[in-house]
Amino acid sequence: MNYCVILVVILVVSFSISVTSGSHERVILRAIIKEEKSNKNGEFAIDLNATNFDSVFNDTPTPFAILEFFAHWCPACRNYKPHYEKVARLFNGPDASHPGIILMTRVDCALTINSNLCDKFSVTRFPMLFWGPPKKFIGGGWDPKQEKSEIIPIENGQTADILLGWINKQLGRSYGFDDGKHEKEHLQANTSDSGQIAKAIYDIEEATFTAFGIILDHKMITPATRASLIKFLQLLVAHHPSKRCRKGSAEILVNFDDLCPSQTMSVNNEKAESCTKKGALGNYHICGKEVPRGYWMYCRGSKNDTRGFSCGLWVLLHSLSVRVEDGESNMAFRSTCDFIHNFFICEECRQHFYGMCSSISSPFKKARDFALWLWSAHNKVNERLAKEEASLETGDPEFPKAIWPPKKLCSSCYLKTSKENGKIEWDENEVFKFLVSYYGKGLVTLQKEMEQQSGSQTEKIVAEEVVGSTHAVVVPVGAALAIAVASCAFGALAYIWRSRQKNRKYKYNSLKNI
């Protein structure tokens, strides 16, 4: 019995998945992306209360937070608000000069719901400000008699200039109110510091949302492309590094036949309205309701029109490539190639990528081979674009296209470099180790820390997220059947799970109609 058969049997016996479990709401993200309201009213600090306090601090990706306690009836607080918001505008919101560094929040102690919360922090005056790591605010408080605490009261921050000066002193920075949307002094950190990759988990969510949005906006789901989208969703369900995106992809996949029925599409490739953003499919959020956040962290360019989505999509593909098993490698390869070919809207890029896909004549048998192929393909793209951008001066001056990884991140990856033509001889074993570490363990570091803080465990695959009923009957599901047979591990997993979910849903609907 071969690997795929064994794996399918194990999956049939062992796994049943549900997408009904709840997840922490990204309250902070919802607040941040309220662009219209926030920008019109000049409000950038996030309003907290006793019900969302812990979840906001738990979910924020920022390393630092400032918490202001105030009372809406207090004249001094009203006068201070413009100062606080002036600083908050630098760090919060889609147009922030320095996003992802400091979360600026506020709590109204005049509201009864917040009385206990304000007492925990020994609030004795208004306004009163605190500084600290976001996680330290969760379920805690502040006692002036406490000798050691990572939560620090800001004793002198009564004007915007003074508060920003205090922040600069604390962080050793020189932020200013005239800073533009992008600041160069922090950009290089995400290529020179391997720890920065942890922030890319949020950019991957952003890129996943953007890709799905493009597909719906441009009505790209047709009879010819429908199957390739299902295959890629199966890959996301099993191996997306974000739990939120795995669940969102799962909800779409299990309902896809209903949301985007094949019978509504004619043989003439007519796009069914139900398969667009205006239709039923547009009501689903592939990474949760709180994505997008409105800005990039790891993939942030020095100019608004560089990096961003393309960077996030590459990181997503690399993260998927290091998570698949050997038996899934060729299906993951084909799913990736078909997805780019059918749904990447840049025509030239799409053709170049698919040309590299077409050059592979033998199926991949090892996950290592797929990961290294994608790495090599990315470097070929970088080489081509580096020449074009240099001649046209269209590249990002702070992030010129370069061979990856640089020696600073993986010196052992380099065997030797030719002095004549600069060609690099790679140690592919070391390269693969680097890819697994960087796009695997390193990428989810921040997410793991967040989940540990909230008392949950990081799941290896979607099948371990929620244990469903093991008594569901497996029934065939139209578009997923042939794909599941071919896709081995993640396809079989998604097919079995999708079938059971649909079967349970149909049983439930039948009972309601009795």
pTM for the whole structure:
0.63
Instruction: Examine the pLDDT at 39 and tell me if it is beyond 80.
Output: no
Q: Specify whether the CB–CB gap between 163 and 106 falls below 8 A.
A: no
Q: Catalytic: 413?
A: no
Helix/strand/coil percentages in the chain, nearest 5: 55, 5, 40
Give the C-alpha distances (Å, rounded to integers) separating 182 from 98, 193, 198, 300.
Answer: 7, 19, 20, 8
Residue 410's identity, in one-letter code, is C
Cα separation, 95 vs 505, in Å, equals 43
**pLDDT above 60: residue 452:** no
Alpha-carbon torsion (217, 219, 221, 224), positive or negative: negative
Q: What is the mean pLDDT of residues 476-492?
A: 41
74 catalytically annotated: yes
**Contact status, residue 412 vs residue 430, Cβ threshold 8 Å:** yes
- Per the rule left: phi > 0, alpha: psi between -120 and 50, beta: everything else, 102 is beta
Percent of the chain whose predicted confidence (pLDDT) is above 70: 73
Is 90 exceeded by the pLDDT of residue 470? Answer: no
**Residue 139 pLDDT:** 86
pLDDT, position 193: 61
Strands 64-70 and 102-108: parallel
Q: What is the pLDDT of residues 493-503, one digit of tens each?
A: 555 555 555 55
Sequence-separated contacts (24+) of 169-174 with Cβ below 8 Å: 170/131, 171/64, 171/101
The pLDDT of residue 226 is above 70: yes
* Residue 179: band (very low, low, confident or very high) from pLDDT cuts 50, 70, 90: confident
Please determine, for residue 301, whether its predicted confidence score (pLDDT) is greater than 60.
yes
pLDDT of residue 264: 56
Query: What are the domain boundaries of the chain?
Result: 40-179, 199-260+272-377
pLDDT for res 2? 46
CA dist 150 and 397 (Å) reads: 38
The topology (CATH level 3) of 40-179 is: Glutaredoxin (3.40.30)
In this predicted structure, what is the pLDDT of residue 355?
Answer: 93
Res 34: pLDDT: 42
Query: Binning pLDDT at 50, 70 and 90, where does residue 69 land?
Result: very high
**CA end-to-end span of the chain:** 45
pLDDT tens for residues 112-141?
999 999 999 999 889 999 999 999 999 878
435 touches 50 (CB < 8 A): no
Q: What's the rounded Cα separation, in Å, for the pair 86 and 88?
A: 6
Catalytic residue among 77, 109, 275, 299: 77
| CB within 8 Å of 222: residues ≥ 6 apart | 265, 269, 270, 271
**SS3 of 108, please?**
strand
Instruction: Tell me what pLDDT residue 259 has.
Output: 83
Rounded Cα–Cα distance for residues 160 and 166 (Å): 10
Say yes or no to pLDDT of 451 above 80.
no
Three-class secondary structure of residue 401 per DSSP: coil
Q: Answer yes or no: is pLDDT of 91 > 60.
A: yes
**Which residue carries 């399918």 as its tokens?**
8
Contact 327, 313 (CB under 8 A): no
Average pLDDT, the chain: 77
Please give the residue that has the higher pLDDT: either 498 or 252: 252
Where is mean pLDDT largest: 249-258, 426-435, 471-480? 426-435
Compute the distance between CA of residue 74 and CA of residue 127 in angstroms, rounded to an integer.
9
Burial 475-495 (b: 16+ CB within 10 A, else e): eebebbeebbeebbbbbbbbb
Ranking 277-286, 357-366, 390-399 by mean pLDDT, the lowest is 390-399
**pLDDT > 90 fraction of the chain, expressed in percent and rounded:** 40
- The beta strands (E) that lie in 88-202 are given as 102-108, 128-132, 152-154
Q: How does pLDDT run across 330-363, given as a tens digit for each residue?
A: 999 999 999 999 998 888 888 899 899 999 989 9
User: In the structure, what pLDDT confidence band is assigned to residue 487 with cuts at 50, 70 and 90?
Assistant: very low
Mean pLDDT of 164-168: 94
Q: What angle do CA 58, 60, 63 make, to 5 degrees?
A: 100
- Tokens standing for residue 431: 């390269």
377/396: higher pLDDT? 377
